[in-house]
């Protein structure tokens, strides 16, 4: 297989006006999402759903990469083309979630540590053979009374750094994702504080593990009030706090920052991305790497029926287009209303 450098993969992923489709839901997560619409989480349904997403006509105008789950990387389209190849043919870079999920951290009952480092070197080699060009590892940090603890932040940062080092060794671009959850009633300022502390620790660990910052992407949430906080920050306030936090904590050598949606509504995720994108003069490229904020309407519309495929694809394409415009600071209510 032809060698492709980390920087050329990154340049493809960061193509202006494009973002990443996170479709890497693990078995429990996709089962939860399907259950909302009474769709049984069978191998065939998961495959049909992902094929519907990836085969959306014209989605490659707005999507540069797709993050897959292990099962999906090994599945094929109904015409027998492996998904990584089907994506690559459309100019969409295939990626893979490589962590094995977050579990309760021993001694810290309300906090989590992400597992999956054992055997990772071997799995990465196989993923590369299967066509993956980038990887993702998600750490979960929860805000609450007395949490996150420094121990939880450090342990997760250490795992992220080991993952990133192994990915780069394998010729795969790591997307380093420390997600600070929206759950809780904390104010926006508390989220800002926790994201700042977390990112500073993550970059310290990345440095300690000799990860080349030029060869990775950061995936983070925006600075938001907890979802049960009575005062939700205005869009402009969210954008300002997010940009300030990133400027304080993310080295300029990082080529790009991609946002997760984290449970925001589709429209809020787009509006806030648009506001962040208008900040201007930032050292990194910014774009989206949304899961739910790209898929929610499409999944609801699809509902598990082949007859709804076209309508569901139109939903996905619309969200991808709105978010594409948002990365350029050109999203508007007219764009939301559709063509």
Q: Where along the sequence are the contacts to ligand 13P (CB under 6 A)?
A: 22, 138, 177, 260-262, 290-293
User: HSE on the CB side for 46, CA within 13 Å?
Assistant: 22
**Residues with a known catalytic role:** 177, 219
Q: CB nearer to ligand 13P: give 39 or 260.
A: 260
Q: CB nearer to ligand 13P: give 23 or 239.
A: 23
Distance CA 30, CA 60 (A): 23
Report helix, strand or coil for 184: coil
Smallest distance, Å, CB 262 to ligand 13P?
4
Cα separation values, 235 from 9, 171, 206, 231, 291, Å:
32, 38, 31, 12, 20
Give the containing element (helix H, strand E) for 168: helix 150-169
Smallest distance, Å, CB 264 to ligand 13P?
8
Distance CA 220, CA 290 (A): 11
Q: CB nearer to ligand 13P: give 83 or 290.
A: 290
Q: CB nearer to ligand 13P: give 256 or 291.
A: 291
Between the two ends of the chain, the Cα-to-Cα distance in Å is 41
In angstroms and rounded to an integer, the radius of gyration of the C-alpha atoms of the chain is 19
Q: CB nearer to ligand 13P: give 138 or 317.
A: 138
Determine the residue with CB nearest ligand 13P. Answer: 291
Distance CA 186, CA 182 (A): 9
Smallest distance, Å, CB 1 to ligand 13P?
26
Smallest distance, Å, CB 102 to ligand 13P?
10
Smallest distance, Å, CB 107 to ligand 13P?
25
Q: CB nearer to ligand 13P: give 320 or 334.
A: 320
Determine how many CB atoms are found less than 10 A away from the CB of residue 35: 11
Determine how many CB atoms are found less than 10 A away from the CB of residue 85: 13
In 52-166, DSSP assigns E strands to: 63-68, 93-97, 102-105, 108-114, 134-141
Smallest distance, Å, CB 92 to ligand 13P?
16
Give the list of residues 6+ apart from residue 44 with CB closer than 8 angstroms, or none: none
C-alpha dihedral sign at 45, 49, 50, 51: positive
Helix 309-327 vs helix 292-302: angle between axes, to the nearest 10 degrees? Answer: 160
């Amino acid at each position: 297989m032809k060698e492709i450098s980390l920087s050329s993969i990154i340049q493809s992923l960061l193509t202006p006006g494009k973002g990443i489709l996170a479709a890497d839901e693990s078995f429990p997560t996709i089962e939860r999402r399907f259950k909302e619409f009474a769709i049984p989480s069978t191998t065939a349904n998961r495959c049909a759903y992902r094929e519907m997403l990836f085969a959306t006509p014209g989605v490659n105008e707005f999507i540069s990469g797709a993050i897959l789950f292990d099962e999906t990387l090994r599945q094929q389209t109904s015409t027998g083309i492996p998904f990584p190849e089907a994506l690559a043919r459309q100019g969409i870079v295939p990626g893979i979630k490589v962590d094995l999920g977050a579990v309760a951290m021993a001694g810290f009952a309300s906090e989590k540590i992400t597992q999956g480092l054992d055997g990772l070197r071997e799995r990465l080699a196989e993923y590369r053979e299967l066509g993956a060009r980038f990887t993702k590892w998600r750490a979960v940090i929860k805000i609450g009374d007395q949490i996150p603890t420094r121990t939880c932040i450090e342990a997760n940062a250490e795992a992220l750094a080991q993952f990133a080092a192994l990915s780069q060794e394998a010729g795969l671009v790591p997307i380093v994702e420390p997600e600070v959850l929206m759950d809780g009633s904390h104010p926006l300022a508390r989220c800002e504080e926790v994201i700042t502390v977390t990112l500073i620790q993550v970059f310290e660990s990345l440095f300690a593990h000799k990860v080349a910052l030029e060869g990775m992407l950061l995936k983070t949430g925006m600075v938001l009030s907890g979802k049960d906080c009575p005062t939700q920050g205005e869009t402009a306030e969210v954008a300002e706090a997010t940009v300030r936090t990133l400027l304080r904590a993310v080295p300029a050598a990082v080529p790009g920052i991609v946002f997760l949606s984290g449970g925001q509504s589709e429209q809020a995720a787009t509006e806030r991305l648009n506001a962040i994108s208008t900040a201007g003069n930032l050292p990194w490229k910014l774009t989206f790497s949304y899961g739910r904020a790209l898929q929610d309407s499409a999944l609801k519309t699809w509902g598990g029926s082949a007859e709804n495929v076209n309508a569901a694809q139109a939903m996905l394409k619309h969200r991808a287009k709105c978010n594409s415009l948002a990365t350029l600071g050109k999203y508007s209510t007219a764009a939301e209303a559709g063509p």
